[in-house]
Chains A and B, each alone.
Chain A
């Protein structure tokens, strides 16, 4: 598992050499550059404090907390059904996917399971929010490097997905559609055909991005061999999602754990990349969007008949116990550790968000890179501020 590719080894050696060189050269006075909290590259209010020697980073340290909303505390004064409206706002680009693991944890504690139709629709909406989220990432990638066109393509095609999510749930950004025991409503008429059309458009969007960005030599030279994270370091820091798979660890929570969702009923592939550099992370995400469109297409064909809501009591009291459920969210592993005391609301919810772990590696990976690489590495690690600060 800790087999390193040649590129990784070379980059690692180069990073070590840069380290050593920095130690020798540190007599010159450095400059502290404060990137953020208001900065176009930080998608919100992340602040990065970087100590520079010329254009080279001696050390860099993200400083989070400018948007901490205290959701873990707030969940303790909400009932279980109310919590979903809070956790919607953690990763605001893939809101529906945030609700699912919490609902699953509550269902696990209550020992109920959503009907198969609800499981299917949940999975479809989950993948749609992944497409909306990662699709925007693919466009944003260009903007971080000065290519302004891809982001508009991403916004254009994300609009179709948001329309679908709105059509099914009534909310574009914060659907709050998941209920303990199933879903609030069934799909509207014509939604399935519409979704199939949109999936075609998104596959074309992926091809466009592949041509325009990933096929571009400048893009490749900016991304390849930059920000290499070996697999053992990635695991230690708890990187998840595409970041981990890009380091060569084949691990996808959709496939590798049994959840009452519909991923095991369709044919799809877990993409990995051996290099672990920025390029690999972006490339894996591109493939995952394509894979998601395939998942959605297959699920649309096989939605079973039946109710979308299991029989649950009107007032939900969750039995005493503890449950951990995590799913493979657009940003990585998103999990909830729910402790219930048999009340209407949870006693304690630990929210394990993906970006928090994904960003915690930043001080390690930013050491010795150039200032422009800070931007590309952060972009390729892909964080959403609400997901760091919660």
Chain B
């Protein structure tokens, strides 16, 4: 199976730098190189998973230039645009067993960005595709926070007209204003809605009042089986994998 190789190229985050350089991918490395030559210092970081995907982080001021450069280089298909809030949710996952001890909480609270790193809490995320070469690029950019806490980024609409609705959605969900957007109304939410639902500090009230009966809520196994499980984990692995979902 050739494909299994490409899939096994997904590696733990800690090893990415080593792995990316170890297994060259001419097509995707070429994209990064081309983008670097277009934008210079605008390209902050990149991450190539060989044979699979490429991430490029650009500086906030190069966001539009990156879009233009990619569009010029054949990435004419606009896939999506969104954002990520890297702050860990202060409310947890809403599924914690109230009776369990809260040991895990301390480690969760630090903020870690994903591939290509990041310095800010919010990152823009966009994907464009070259329909000729069948290759896509995921772009990221840090969203700088102004002194008053407001977030603003330049709009992509002149480059990719399809970014219109995506930016409207991102604006209302994350509170990132898009400067120069032709139609900055709300996409889904009512006009007088307050708050930005996809921010991690926006509470999901349904989970606040009633914890989700999640994975911690399953019936315990009988004593005998649990003791034997260590030796025969492989045997019942196929049948029992969805225990969490069906509980």
Question: Are B161 and A352 in contact, with the CB atoms below 8 A?
Answer: no
Binary contact readout A327-356 vs B (1 if CB under 8 angstroms, 0 otherwise):
000000101010101011100101010001
Question: Are A251 and B131 in contact, with the CB atoms below 8 A?
Answer: yes
- Asked whether any CB of chain B lies closer than 8 Å to the CB of A171, the reply is no
Which of B25-33, B78-86, B142-150 interfaces with chain A? B78-86
- Asked whether any CB of chain B lies closer than 8 Å to the CB of A33, the reply is no
Question: Are A357 and B93 in contact, with the CB atoms below 8 A?
Answer: no
How far does the Cβ of A333 sit from chain B's closest Cβ, in whole Å?
7
How far does the Cβ of B54 sit from chain A's closest Cβ, in whole Å?
10
Binary contact readout B64-91 vs A (1 if CB under 8 angstroms, 0 otherwise):
0000000000001111101011001100
Question: Are B132 and A1 in contact, with the CB atoms below 8 A?
Answer: yes
Alpha-carbon separation in the docked complex, A64 to B187 (Å): 7
How far does the Cβ of A359 sit from chain B's closest Cβ, in whole Å?
8
How far does the Cβ of A261 sit from chain B's closest Cβ, in whole Å?
10
Binary contact readout A305-329 vs B (1 if CB under 8 angstroms, 0 otherwise):
0011111111110011111101000
- Asked whether any CB of chain B lies closer than 8 Å to the CB of A19, the reply is no
Chain A residues lying within 8 Å of B52, measured Cβ to Cβ, are 108
Binary contact readout B44-59 vs A (1 if CB under 8 angstroms, 0 otherwise):
0000000011010000
Question: Are B162 and A309 in contact, with the CB atoms below 8 A?
Answer: no
Question: Are A314 and B93 in contact, with the CB atoms below 8 A?
Answer: no
Which 8 pairs from chain A and chain B are nearest by CB? A65-B188, A237-B162, A81-B245, A309-B238, A68-B188, A238-B162, A238-B78, A352-B80
**Chain B positions near chain A (C-beta within 8 angstroms):** 2-4, 6-8, 10, 12-13, 52-53, 55, 76-80, 82, 84-85, 88-89, 93-95, 112, 114-115, 125, 127, 131-132, 134, 136, 138, 160-162, 164-166, 173, 186-189, 197-198, 202, 204, 207, 212, 214-215, 233-234, 236-245
**Chain A positions near chain B (C-beta within 8 angstroms):** 1, 64-65, 68, 70, 72-74, 76-79, 81-82, 84-85, 107-109, 111, 113, 179-182, 184, 232-233, 235-239, 249, 251, 256-260, 307-316, 319-324, 326, 333, 335, 337, 339, 341, 343-345, 348, 350, 352, 356-357, 359-361, 364, 389
